[in-house]
Amino acid sequence: MKDLIDKLIQEKLAREAEAKTRRHFIKNCAQGIGGLALSSIFAGCDPLTTAPKKTQAAFSERDLNPLATLAPPYSSKVKSVIYLHMAGAPSQLEMFDYKPELQKFDGQDCPQSLLEGKKFAFIKGTPKLMGPQAKFKQEGESGNWVSDYMPHFKKVVDEVAFLKAVHTDQFNHGPAQLFMHTGSARLGRPSIGSWATYGLGSANQNLPGFVVLTSGGNTPDAGKSVWGSGFLPSVYQGVQCRSKGDPVLYIKDPDGVTRDLKKSTIDAINKINKQEYLKYADPEILARINQYEMAYRMQIAVPEVMNINNEPENIKQMFGVEPGKESFANNCLLARKLVEDGVRFVQLFDWGWDTHGNVRSGSIDMGLRNKCREIDRPITALLLDLKQRGLLDETLVVWGGEFGRTPMQENRGNKKMAYKGRDHHGDAFTMWMAGGGIKKGACHGKTDDIGFSGIEGKVSVHDVHATILQQLGFDHEEFTYEFQGRNFRLTDVEGEVIKEILA
């Protein structure tokens, strides 16, 4: 027993030490000019042997390149994450959570017992239950249910693991999206992507570590803070790459300025900055030298990776891309390319899933079908394409919204609405994960007969976060950042890894 405890303690210590001081001496200071500058400055660029021991404490690779990679505390297969967020909250009842019983109650008043103590965004008085508007079939060897809104998806149903009873305590888009991405409904916390990039860095030195792609004509309700870095340094926030205009703001050289000219400019700047360093010995200057180098490389790499035109036809066809447009299909293809190039975290937001039934585009039987059609082929293609390139094993794909929708038909303003709609519902909704370390074809959690609340395998948003972090090689309880004298975690004080869906 004693030695067991001691062993545990030793390991814990080692980890804590690592977590606290992420400073470990410069490994690769030879990145382009910046590096050369360094090497010339620190005799042979080898602080370990030349400079006094203290160098190791004083300098870190991260001082020069904040995105320098760090090893995860624990072994993990997953190298990258692709998070597909359907902003507005898709209806689980028309996509994956099949409720034949609900059909029976269609049109009947919702039992009061369910409504007591519940808060809804728009539903007033006693709403009526509404049966599933889609037809369902069991697909694949797993025999998991998929609706006819997603005809292509059945091809990959055996790749994914469903979470049928996810719950959140937020029922308004803004707060719920924040909660889903930062672990808190209030602003100021870092997003999952920022945590991941902060914890692991990013291998490709020509691309941002955390890329955000939006479609559906709008950014998410909660705004840029869903990919913000909160109290983490802003370098870890998501970089929004746009399929229209400059992919990254100011990445394009001014008209009339050639690449060579830009290169000479940066050479000149860095040359002078190096003299500056010799005078002030301020490592910030070395960092700046590095960053200008990387900026130059990014200017080539980003437009390249963001260009889908030279993908082969069959791939374009499989994803159903529309080059030049801003579409979810394009973003899925981009996501694959980015992951292929070693980007750590790719976040997709598709806006327009808020199906209240107040307008045609927001109706369960029409608008929702259109949205489903827009994602069905691209998502299926994304999983297949990752698979055939051997990337699916090392990429974690997560799909979901900020909450689900009610089994009741919405009756906003206490009257019948123009179209069939469902209100916001946080008690039980469906998410799925696929890829690295995920159990293929698994299905965890179960909702009651009308899909109102979970009765088995309920998981919280924190649990989902804990699981994502675990797949990236972190223990969500140990992965902390000290801010205002307190250690913060993505999962705050909760969260439990959902082992049931892990391979």
- Residues between 292 and 321 with contacts to another protein, criterion CB under 8 A: 292, 294-295, 298-299, 314, 317-318, 320
Cβ contacts of residue 109 below 8 Å, gap of 6+? 126, 127, 128, 129
**Distance of alpha carbon 192 from alpha carbon 195, whole angstroms:** 5
Among 103, 265, 307, 453, binds another protein (CB under 8 A): 265
**Separate counts of helices (H) and strands (E) for the chain:** 14, 17
Q: Work out how close the CB of 104 gets to another protein at its nearest, in angstroms, rounded to a whole number.
A: 26
The strand ranges marked E within 46-122 are 80-87
Distances (CA, A) of 501 to 118, 188, 336, 360, 391: 30, 31, 23, 37, 19
**Distance of alpha carbon 202 from alpha carbon 92, whole angstroms:** 34
Q: Work out how close the CB of 246 gets to another protein at its nearest, in angstroms, rounded to a whole number.
A: 7
- At residue 483, the 3 state secondary structure works out as strand
Q: Under rule CB under 8 A, which residues in 436-455 are in contact with another protein?
A: 437
Q: Under rule CB under 8 A, which residues in 78-137 are in contact with another protein?
A: 119-122, 124
Among 269, 300, 418, 455, binds another protein (CB under 8 A): 269
Only segment of 4-12, 97-105, 106-114, 127-135 that touches another protein (CB under 8 A): 4-12
Only segment of 105-113, 131-139, 409-417, 447-455 that touches another protein (CB under 8 A): 409-417
Give, to the nearest 10 degrees, the angle between helix 328-340 and helix 283-305. 130
**Distance of alpha carbon 194 from alpha carbon 481, whole angstroms:** 12
Q: Under rule CB under 8 A, which residues in 367-396 are in contact with another protein?
A: 367, 369-370, 373, 377, 380-381, 384-385, 387-390, 393
Q: Work out how close the CB of 75 gets to another protein at its nearest, in angstroms, rounded to a whole number.
A: 4
- Cβ distance to another protein smaller for residue 101 or 326: 326
Q: Work out how close the CB of 69 gets to another protein at its nearest, in angstroms, rounded to a whole number.
A: 5
- Cβ distance to another protein smaller for residue 105 or 189: 189
Q: Under rule CB under 8 A, which residues in 332-371 are in contact with another protein?
A: 341-342, 351, 365-367, 369-370
- Cβ distance to another protein smaller for residue 137 or 271: 271
Nearest to 501 by CA among 454, 457, 448: 457
- Cβ distance to another protein smaller for residue 92 or 290: 290
User: Residues 180, 85: contact at Cβ < 8 Å?
Assistant: yes
Q: Work out how close the CB of 27 gets to another protein at its nearest, in angstroms, rounded to a whole number.
A: 5
- Cβ distance to another protein smaller for residue 104 or 119: 119
Task: Dig out the tokens for 375 from the structure.
Answer: 């994602």
Q: Work out how close the CB of 380 gets to another protein at its nearest, in angstroms, rounded to a whole number.
A: 6
Among 20, 104, 135, 282, binds another protein (CB under 8 A): 282
- At residue 129, the 3 state secondary structure works out as strand
Task: Dig out the tokens for 258 from the structure.
Answer: 């050639």
- Cβ distance to another protein smaller for residue 12 or 137: 12
- Cβ distance to another protein smaller for residue 98 or 153: 153
Q: Per-residue x/- mask for another protein, residues 161 to 200, rule CB under 8 A? A: ----------xxxx-----------xxx------------
Give, to the nearest 10 degrees, the angle between helix 259-280 and helix 283-305. 160
- Cβ distance to another protein smaller for residue 128 or 373: 373
Q: Work out how close the CB of 303 gets to another protein at its nearest, in angstroms, rounded to a whole number.
A: 12
Among 28, 103, 453, 480, binds another protein (CB under 8 A): 28
Q: Per rule CB under 8 A, is residue 415 in the interface with another protein? A: yes
**Distance of alpha carbon 308 from alpha carbon 322, whole angstroms:** 9
Q: Work out how close the CB of 258 gets to another protein at its nearest, in angstroms, rounded to a whole number.
A: 6
**Distance of alpha carbon 415 from alpha carbon 361, whole angstroms:** 19
- Burial profile 349-381: b = 16 or more Cβ within 10 angstroms, e = fewer: bbbbbbbbbbeeebbbbbbbbebbebbbbbbbb
Nearest to 362 by CA among 352, 372, 349: 352
Task: Dig out the tokens for 446 from the structure.
Answer: 């179960």
Name the residue type at position 459: V
**Distance of alpha carbon 424 from alpha carbon 108, whole angstroms:** 19
Q: Work out how close the CB of 445 gets to another protein at its nearest, in angstroms, rounded to a whole number.
A: 13
Q: Under rule CB under 8 A, which residues in 59-78 are in contact with another protein?
A: 66, 69, 71-77
**Distance of alpha carbon 284 from alpha carbon 391, whole angstroms:** 37
Q: Under rule CB under 8 A, which residues in 202-261 are in contact with another protein?
A: 203-206, 208, 214, 217-225, 228, 233-235, 239, 242, 244-246, 248-258, 260-261
Task: Dig out the tokens for 471 from the structure.
Answer: 């797949």
- Cβ distance to another protein smaller for residue 93 or 105: 93
Total binding residues toward another protein, as defined by CB under 8 A: 159
